[in-house]
Amino acid sequence: MEFLELKNRVETVRQNLASASDGKYPAPKLIAVTKTHPVETILPLSKLDIVDIGENRTQEIVEKRNFLRENFQIHLIGRLQSNKVKYIIDDVCLIHSLDRFSLAEEINRQAQKHNRVMPVLVQVSPAGEEQKGGMPPEEVLPFLREASKLPGLHIRGLMAVMPNIQEETYLSGLFADMRTLFERLRDEAVQGVDMEELSMGMSGDYLLAARHGATMVRVGSALFGPRA
Ligand SMILES: *Cc1c(COP(=O)(O)O)cnc(C)c1O
């Protein structure tokens, strides 16, 4: 893609984000989802002041990291197998997809080995679609109480992947539910947990997500076009 085309697309998304929330919430941070795209496609983003990029596969992070680490912070947004944590623990700034206690334990173990505290988001399944990852909303509070005791990770918020349904009323309801859950858990003030980030919204629905108080949106195809 031509640089100018990419620049236009980034600007469009930024403008949409700035206008979406009507001043009720601050504009969310844009995470550019670069999965499947080669390093040459990604590097120009740094000239557009994009620092945060999202990848969903550990193997791909390992292949690209040496080219990207100087300019970017990598967010892990996809489902994470416990036995892969050790490969990426030094390379990512935030794991969005913590969805089970065994994974929390492995992140804790690897982070301690590498002398760091790993920031994580807890993935919630707002529509009960657990095949997409994420725990049911009612399980999050008990999970926070246990996982917050692990010194190698720092829980900083929630993440959700919405169902592939374009029906706006339905999606709005799910985004609103996520925002309510986020605020309720923030009010619980679980020790060691900082409920600051709500990662939700992708190319098809980032405007709705921004309107409902997302603090981060994860946008891929609206920037780079459809994936192969
Ligand atoms: C691929 C992906 C995105 C971005 O999807 P687009 O529709 O291309 O914007 C966001 N979140 C997750 C978890 C993804 O895997």
Asked whether residue 121 is assigned to any structural domain, the reply reads yes
Q: Which of 37, 55, 56 to mutate to test the pocket of ligand 1 (most atoms within 8 A of CB)?
A: 56
170 domain-assigned: yes
> How is 40-68 classified by DSSP, letter by letter?
HHHGGGGGGT--EEEE--HHHHHHHHHHH
- pLDDT, tens digit (0-9, with 9 covering 90-100), for 136-170: 999 999 999 999 999 999 999 999 999 888 789 99
Which candidate, 196, 216, 192, 194, places its Cα nearest to that of 206? 216
Domain span at 43: 3-223
Report the alpha-carbon distance of residue 205 to residue 202 in Å, rounded: 5
Q: What is the pLDDT of residues 29-61, one digit of tens each?
A: 999 999 999 999 999 999 999 999 999 999 999
User: What is the model's pLDDT at position 109?
Assistant: 98
Residue range 9-33, pLDDT digits in tens = 999 999 999 998 778 999 999 999 9
Residue 188 CA to ligand 1 center (angstroms) comes to 30
Q: Per the domain annotation, does 164 fall within a domain?
A: yes
Number of domains in the chain: 1
Q: How many CB atoms lie within 10 A of CB 191?
A: 9
Is the CB of residue 68 less than 8 Å from the CB of residue 89? Answer: no
List the CATH number of the domain containing 159: 3.20.20.10
Residue 204 covered by a domain: yes
C-alpha–C-alpha distance, residues 221 and 210, integer Å: 17
Strand partners, 157: 197
Q: Which residue has the tokens 């080219």?
A: 67
Whether 31 is in the pocket of ligand 1, judged by its Cβ within 6 Å, is: no
Please check whether residue 66 lies inside any domain of the structure: yes
220 lines ligand 1 (CB under 6 A): yes
State the chain's mean pLDDT as an integer: 95
Distance CA 219, CA 126 (A): 19
State the pLDDT at residue 130. 67
| 228 domain residue, yes or no | no
Is 173 part of any domain?
yes
Question: Which residue has its alpha carbon closest to ligand 1 atom 7?
Answer: 203
H/E element, 94? strand 92-98
pLDDT in tens, 67-80: 999 999 999 999 99
Residue 83 lies in a domain: yes
Q: Which of 216, 106, 89, 203 is nearest to 160 (CA)?
A: 216
